[in-house]
Chains A and B, each alone.
Chain A
Amino acid sequence: MKTSDQTLNEILTLAATHFKVPREELTPDDDFFKTLKIDSLQALDLLTRLEHHFNIELPDYELQGVSDFRTLASRIQARL
């Protein structure tokens, strides 16, 4: 079982790689829409990649109202 910090770190690394942003520029409390310069459809795409990475299924509603990496990590951690 991964710890919350591990989950958060893996999300940040995956987001940085996928959206070609330096990993060191991303912090847990960042608004990922702004930091990654993505729209809501691209955020859904990120969700799909996270599902594949963590081997879980996340309903769309889990992303509703979520805009920072830390909250996203907690939603994922709850399903691991």
Chain B
Amino acid sequence: MLTLDQYHSLGAALRDALDRFANETCLIESDRERERTRLTYSDFKELALPLARAFEDEDFAPGDRAAVIMTNQSKWLISAYAIFHCGGVLVPLDYKLSASEQLQLLAHSKSKFLIIEYYLWRALRQAPEFKNHKLQKVLLTEAPLGAELGQATRWEEFRRKGDPLFVARKREDVACIVYSSGTGGRPKGCVLTHENYLEQCKALTAWYPFWPGVRYLSILPTNHAIDFMVGFIGPFVCGACVVHLRTLRPEFVRDAFVRYRITYMSLVPMVLKNLERGLKAKFDELPRAKRFLLDRMIALNRFFTRWRPDVRLSRMLLPQVHKAFGGELRALFTGGAFMEPSTLQFFYDLGIPVANGYGLTEAGTALTLNDFKPFRADTVGKPLPGVELRVLNPDADGIGEVAAHSKTVMSHYLDDPQLTAETIVDAWLLTGDLGRFDLTGHLQLFGRKKNMIVTQGGKNIYPEDIENTFDGLPMKEYCVVAANYIWPAKALGDENLILVLHLEPGHEITDILTHDIESRNRRLPDYKRVNGYVVWEKDFPRTASMKIKRADLAQEISRTLGRAAVVELYPAQVKQEV
């Protein structure tokens, strides 16, 4: 791999990688069983440089911002490199957000260019806020022949001859603006520097190295901090290959493991649970004798790998399981949301270690990761090299807020000095997560101090972001809070949002009101919906500017009411994320 200490920017490191590994395959893109694209690093360069030159010719200046809204594909990474080559700032936006949310973040980030898939662009144009956009250039990928493009240009035709100038950047210059949340009124744009990324990449590859021949299956959205690092920057600076799938149907993901002999993959707990369910169902179908043998082999594997993984041995003991995963899988990565230890242990016992980690966008990608020396399913691992963690104000059980000091911590929140000052104090990032270290230096998480939830799909949901969905409810006042913010659970998982309702005097909850709440709730994506409500009979504590003092309100409620006071809207609700 490249020696990252010698580089000042992502652009410079990637530029060298394109030359150093010229003949290695860097990208494979597959749509179902059809392989659409296979590029070497040299091919990648040939596609990216004419694009960078076209950017340059269209007055895209160093420091200018360009947003990308695309599903995972080669054009995402080619566009990102072109932006870095020109010294630009990349704004990766979530393609799963609504068009209105995307337009809000495009405006907040002051993006000058936008690179977007045609079908997402169609939706964007239909949003009422579209007419206010200030984009200077829009590039559309895969627009059908004869499609109405308006002022936009086809990505495939946006290229110019001639070498583009490579713009050098300093380590402290901004590389990306990544939105951790905040589409409902206070966007949280994490400003991440080239140093943040180079240091994060160095730390992660020290524990989990890539090399030419390694194949990383990229199914988490590339705009997400994890995939951007381990599905782009990490593999590229090591000459490895990234495999993109244009469909996330489970059958094609399973097929890709075998077809491309995948080495690593990152996934969210929901996908890992789905894999676990599938495997267990297959095991249950085995004839009794075969099942007995399988269980003995799993027990043997567990015994022999109790101190550290042994991939070769596991593949010998459980050949059919490993064959189903392509035979080359070394580890899966997960993080960002709560993962049940039993699921992690299930895969570890099969010889498929799941490196469970912990991080937040504000800290680059990851702060801690399991190093498997030995495997600890009940923790989120140890701090990565270069990361210092502290537990602030620990209680009698040693549990307190986790604070981080690292070169991977963001510079600031875009245009929000107040929030930055509240979040980064004396160079320590206050994570808002509660944890403690065990005697071996592994971090255990116990819940959140902050008013938010993280879904099984790894999405951060802040109550303030969805509150306006309930504007106009016939009552004195209301607000949305995370249930665990009122009643700390000292555990992760099963995180829910609830409505706190303060009715007008003499009013009570009626079927009409419940129906109104449910109908508004349905307008939200399912993973953002509130699960229930609690009735509160006092005025909400407010600041001089009439903002709700949420921490004070949560404390008052927890002193007066128990969690049993919550009336569920959807008993046994199944959360989905599309």
Interface residues of A (CB under 8 A from B): 31, 33-34, 37-41, 43-45, 47-48, 59-61, 63-67
| Complex CA–CA separation, A41 to B574 (angstroms) | 12
CB neighbours of A61 from chain B (8 A)? 71, 119-120
B558 at the A/B interface (Cβ < 8 Å)? no
- What 0/1 pattern do residues 475 to 509 of B give for CB contact below 8 A with A? 00000000000000000000000000000000000
Report if A43-B578 is in contact (Cβ < 8 Å); known contacts: A34-B573, A64-B96.
yes
Report if A37-B574 is in contact (Cβ < 8 Å); known contacts: A44-B249, A45-B249, A60-B249.
yes
Q: Verify B574–A34 contact, CB threshold 8 A.
A: yes
Q: Nearest chain A CB to B247's CB is how many angstroms away?
A: 5
Told that A31-B522, A33-B574, A60-B248 touch, could you supply 5 new A-B pairs with CB distance under 8 A?
A39-B577, A40-B576, A44-B249, A60-B246, A61-B120
Q: Verify A47–B249 contact, CB threshold 8 A.
A: yes
Give A36's nearest chain B residue, CB to CB: B574
Q: Verify B274–A41 contact, CB threshold 8 A.
A: yes
Q: Nearest chain B CB to A50's CB is how many angstroms away?
A: 12
Report if A45-B250 is in contact (Cβ < 8 Å); known contacts: A39-B575, A40-B576, A61-B119.
yes
| Complex CA–CA separation, A71 to B251 (angstroms) | 24
Across the A-B interface, the 3 shortest Cβ-Cβ residue pairs: A33-B576, A40-B576, A40-B578
Q: Verify B575–A44 contact, CB threshold 8 A.
A: no
Instruction: Supply 25 A–B pairs (Cβ within 8 Å), ascending by A.
Output: A31-B526, A33-B526, A33-B574, A34-B573, A34-B574, A37-B572, A39-B270, A39-B574, A40-B457, A40-B578, A41-B250, A41-B274, A43-B576, A43-B578, A44-B248, A44-B249, A48-B249, A48-B251, A60-B246, A60-B249, A61-B120, A63-B578, A64-B96, A64-B578, A65-B525
Interface size class of B (residues with CB under 8 A): 20 to 34
Give B96's nearest chain A residue, CB to CB: A64
| Complex CA–CA separation, A26 to B149 (angstroms) | 39
| Complex CA–CA separation, A57 to B415 (angstroms) | 44
- What 0/1 pattern do residues 549 to 578 of B give for CB contact below 8 A with A? 000000000000000000000101111111
B271 at the A/B interface (Cβ < 8 Å)? yes
Give B456's nearest chain A residue, CB to CB: A39
Interface residues of B (CB under 8 A from A): 71, 96, 98, 119-120, 246-251, 270-271, 274, 457, 522, 525-526, 570, 572-578
Report if A67-B526 is in contact (Cβ < 8 Å); known contacts: A33-B574, A39-B270.
yes
Option from A34, A37, A48, A65 in Cβ contact (under 8 Å) with B578: A65
B interface secondary structure, majority: loop
CB neighbours of B570 from chain A (8 A)? 34
Q: Verify A38–B578 contact, CB threshold 8 A.
A: no
Give B578's nearest chain A residue, CB to CB: A40
Give B249's nearest chain A residue, CB to CB: A44
| Complex CA–CA separation, A27 to B98 (angstroms) | 26
Most buried by B among A41, A47, A48, A63: A41
CB neighbours of A38 from chain B (8 A)? 574, 576
Q: Verify B247–A59 contact, CB threshold 8 A.
A: yes
Q: Nearest chain B CB to A15's CB is how many angstroms away?
A: 15
| Complex CA–CA separation, A33 to B577 (angstroms) | 10
CB neighbours of A43 from chain B (8 A)? 576, 578
| Complex CA–CA separation, A38 to B526 (angstroms) | 12
| Complex CA–CA separation, A47 to B578 (angstroms) | 13
CB neighbours of B98 from chain A (8 A)? 65
CB neighbours of B120 from chain A (8 A)? 61
| Complex CA–CA separation, A37 to B270 (angstroms) | 15
CB neighbours of B96 from chain A (8 A)? 64
Q: Nearest chain A CB to B237's CB is how many angstroms away?
A: 30
| Complex CA–CA separation, A33 to B578 (angstroms) | 10
